[in-house]
């Protein structure tokens, strides 16, 4: 169970927690995989959640049984990101997931620090389009960390910037890699989604709305 009384900072993952961008990642990866001759499924996509872009590509190439040079991989990553950026152009505040804005407001009112801990290199653009940048005290994304989840770097760096000890940080995640990273960082962690996909979380809830009254 979560000890809410010790929480001084909450660090949010982005995709699938605050904003529903997961479907756009799936559509872009699906298109790329199809071009490589591989039938990419929702089950495959679950394995990419919380994983860096290059590691995701390496997995798809492995599944497809395709080898590419480093230059070709770089081109494929640019192509996937281009398709993804085209898809998220439509994002606006209406795309915030249920309870996201309410929880951000409540945490800010209570003086609890708020951080972002995301593997996405497009995080700033997404936060701008959805209008929630002003709520954050620290923004740690794929542009400022070297190691992807389940390595705890993104969360430890967030705690450092927020100036809050890891033991007093609560992570909100929708991916197994993120749950594992939070545990490795010594933080409490709540999974957002289905319990079978989020092993090791202190608590699993359907959406952020269920947490508003906890603070």
Cis peptide before 150 (omega within 30 of 0): yes
202 is a catalytic site residue: no
> For residues 158 and 185, what is the distance between their CA atoms, to the nearest angstrom?
11
> For residues 97 and 15, what is the distance between their CA atoms, to the nearest angstrom?
10
Q: Among residues 15, 44, 141, 174, which one is catalytic?
A: 15
Three-state SS at 175:
coil
Query: Around Cβ 6, how many Cβ atoms within 10 Å?
Result: 12
Using the 8-state DSSP alphabet, how is residue 82 labeled? Answer: H
> For residues 34 and 198, what is the distance between their CA atoms, to the nearest angstrom?
28
| Helices and strands per DSSP (H, E), number in the chain | 8, 6
15 is a catalytic site residue: yes
Q: Among residues 13, 141, 174, 180, which one is catalytic?
A: 13
Residues catalogued as catalytic: 13, 15
């Amino acid at each position: 169970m979560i000890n809410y009384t010790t929480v001084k900072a909450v660090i949010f993952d982005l995709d699938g927690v605050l904003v529903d961008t997961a479907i756009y990642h799936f559509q872009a990866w699906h298109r790329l995989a199809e071009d490589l001759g591989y039938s990419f499924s929702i089950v495959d996509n679950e394995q990419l959640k919380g994983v860096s872009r290059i590691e995701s590509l390496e997995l798809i190439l492995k599944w497809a049984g395709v080898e590419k040079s480093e230059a070709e991989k770089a081109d494929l990553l640019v192509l996937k990101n281009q398709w993804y950026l085209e898809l998220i152009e439509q994002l606006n505040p209406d795309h915030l997931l249920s309870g996201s804005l309410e929880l951000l407001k409540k945490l800010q009112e209570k003086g609890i620090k708020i951080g972002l801990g995301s593997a996405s290199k497009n995080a700033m653009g997404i936060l701008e389009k959805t209008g929630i940048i002003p709520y954050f005290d620290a923004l740690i994304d794929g542009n400022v960390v070297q190691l992807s989840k389940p390595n705890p770097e993104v969360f430890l760096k967030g705690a450092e910037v927020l100036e809050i000890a890891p033991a007093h940080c609560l992570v909100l995640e929708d991916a197994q890699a993120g749950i594992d990273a939070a545990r490795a960082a010594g933080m409490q962690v709540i999974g957002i989604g289905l319990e079978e996909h989020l092993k090791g979380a202190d608590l699993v809830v359907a959406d952020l709305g269920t947490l508003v009254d906890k603070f």
